[in-house]
A = this chain, B = another copy of it.
């Protein structure tokens, strides 16, 4: 159906080999007049190389796969943008898969990428790999066949990636809040079996303990806006029926959760930060438009994506990066003087 290289070669009156050499960067450069003829023929016929055939012949696909939990979540879409940008003019194409928070789909995604023979796979927002034998086995298989695996956010031993020091960052964040004057904390801890949320809440709690403080409550629930909304609503209801909401600082293990919590607080007609302070984690771009401005621990999300992409491109260079977040206190945790 489409124009093949053979057609171009015929049109130009040269051999297939020659046509291939001029159109697709080969080490051997045919004479300039021949090259021009071939290029003219290609142009005239509207030739586009068949990437599948090239991949088969070259045994490299120039494809990388990115798996996220939800592409509409600002956390992931910001990372995705970073990955995209890192690709630049490299000619590498991005295959995207959304797992919708389902480990099963994550495995399917990796399998699909393996079938596509992607040169690299970037895994973001994965569950704890250690607990997922099947995924781990897949990945090992992939690596044995020369695939590059980049994990974002998980501390893995034998593969590259961007490690996020959630625990230390959370500690640091707690420290800042304490020195800003906060003493009573509630933690919306997300899912216990998600490494990310576990590290964040642990780090935070750890720091509290070392400062002689203790969280009033640690509430688990889905690692999502909705989960936080429900958890916070529950909490407020309980407080109210127990005599009233007293002032606390609510640490949410992600900004998206913080947004859910904020909504619950608003619906209860409480003010932020006067009645309840809120702090998140990640510093997603969305925060910029929230009032009051919300405190968080800033992670360079787009850079993280970019680094991951670059590492995927440079096949083997730059194996590991550890990033820490930096606490950013804004209005949502502001204490009026003297309180």
Contact = CB atoms under 8 A, between A and B. Distances in A.
Contact of A72 (B48, B77, B112, B259): B77
A286 to B, nearest CB: 6
Contacts of A91: 112
Interface in A242-267: 259, 262-263, 266
Contact of A93 (B49, B116, B266): B116
Interface in A140-166: 141, 145-146
Interface stretch (A54-62, A203-211, A318-326): A54-62
Contacts of A70: 81
A56 B59 contact: no
A326 to B, nearest CB: 21
Contact of A52 (B61, B93, B111): B61
B61 A71 contact: no
A115 B51 contact: yes
A172 interface: no
A50 B117 contact: yes
**Most chain-B Cβ atoms within 10 A of its Cβ — which of A49, A74, A115, A289?**
A289
A94 interface: yes
A259 to B, nearest CB: 5
A46 interface: yes
- Bin chain A's interface residue count: 35 or more
A46 B147 CA distance: 15
Contacts of A77: 71-72, 74, 77
14 contacts: A52-B55, A52-B61, A71-B84, A72-B285, A72-B302, A74-B77, A84-B96, A84-B97, A84-B98, A93-B112, A93-B116, A94-B96, A263-B288, A286-B289
A78 interface: yes
Nearest to A82: B72
Nearest to A109: B93
Nearest to A98: B84
A291 interface: yes
Contact of A289 (B55, B97, B117, B262): B262
Interface string A95-123: 11110100000000001101111000000
Nearest to A96: B96
A1 B147 CA distance: 11
Contacts of A72: 74, 77-78, 80-81, 285, 302
Given A55-B52, A81-B70, A95-B95, A117 B2 contact: yes
